[in-house]
Amino acid sequence: MKQMSLVEIRRALHRIPEIGFVEFKTQKLLLEIIQSIRNDRVEIKTWKTGILVKVKGSNPTKIIGYRADIDGLPIIEETNLSFSSMHANEMHACGHDFHMTIAIGVLQHLIENPVDDDVVFIFQPAEEGPGGAEPMLKSDEFKEWKPDMIIALHIAPEYPVGTIALKPGLLFANTSELFIDLKGKGGHAAYPHQTNDMVVAACSLVSQLQSIVSRNINPLESAVVTIGKITGGTVQNVIAENARLEGTMRTLSSKAMDKVKNRVQSLVKGTEIAFDCSAKIDFGSGYYQVFNNEKLTEEFMEFTRTESNVEVIECQEAMTGEDFGYMLKEIPGFMFWLGVDSPYGLHHSKLNPKEDALEVAVQLLSSYLKRKGNEKGS
């Protein structure tokens, strides 16, 4: 396989987005690229559809981890790019094609310019769901090469190219999916008294759920309860026997998340009584908060300020979710935002990050890992 440029790698990956744990084409392409640049200091392991690549250091005292997520989203792409997704209803709408490409660029740099310490590159599947970080952490493959510190980035459409944004401490929220199924008694629209209408029950429940943040969460804390999808009924003149609510919950503390979940359960029980129906709650996938190690983050921010082509900004925490939080829960490290200057945000069908950001990130991370990988006594 001929050596590819960063732009060529990104575009090749962008064409083949795949959802969590079915990233077979993505894994195959990544392995082909890695094989084309590897040498005798490089070891490769696979875990499900993920990949771990260790670059052996010349005099290792620790292992540094770098994580990139590899899955796409079930979104129909509307960018009209010449390299748009070839997969119907799937798109790299969260920038994971960028994340993988940057990891490959830094990997190649470290292969060509070895440092003292071992560096493990973690190409993690299923970040968007159902969550690949937590089970990957528990795998034998990961445990064998478990890093002593770990870092990652996420593209940020709202920041210009050349901007890095992060903060010590909490960066991303605790998150949980929410699915509620209601079952009542359907019937003819002309005889509502003989039925238990689940459209009415669902509408009532949505209104009640919106009271959780305003009336049950400390105003000095932050929380979000959003119902993004409602389905129910079959036809306009039949009272609905079933309804389903789908949403998300986000908080800036695990304690607040527990409170939100408890209130959801109470309100659903109340709906069962009030509308004489049955209900089932599924909290789906939940992600632990991304909490940046203060010492490592401050060191990285100070280092970044010395780089002439990058501006570092201390940002506020965000209600976005990232399963990298599970890795930071066990391993000291940090995540940062990489500016990519797109008018369309994350998870948008027209997201089109500027490719100039690829080289910015590769240069910054290669320089940082050179310093960190040759650092002793830490």
Catalytic status, residue 128:
yes
What pLDDT is recorded for position 377? 64
160 DSSP assignment: P
Catalytic residue among 128, 181, 241, 323: 128
**Cβ neighbours of residue 61 under 8 Å, at least 6 residues apart?**
116, 117, 376
Domains of the chain by start residue, with CATH:
6-170+289-373 (3.40.630.10), 174-286 (3.30.70.360)
Query: In this structure, what token pair is assigned to residue 31?
Result: 């392995």
**Residue ranges for the chain with pLDDT beneath 50:** none
Handedness of CA 122, 127, 130, 134 (dihedral sign): positive
Q: Cβ distance 195 to 186 under 8 Å?
A: yes
Count of positions (residues) in the chain: 378
358 exposure class (CB count in 10 Å sphere: 0-12, 13-18, 19+): buried
What pLDDT is recorded for position 350? 98
Catalytic residue among 23, 69, 71, 197: 69
- pTM for this one? 0.93
147-171 tens-digit pLDDT: 999 999 999 999 999 999 999 999 9
Catalytic status, residue 118:
no
Neighbour tally for 310: CB within 10 Å: 20
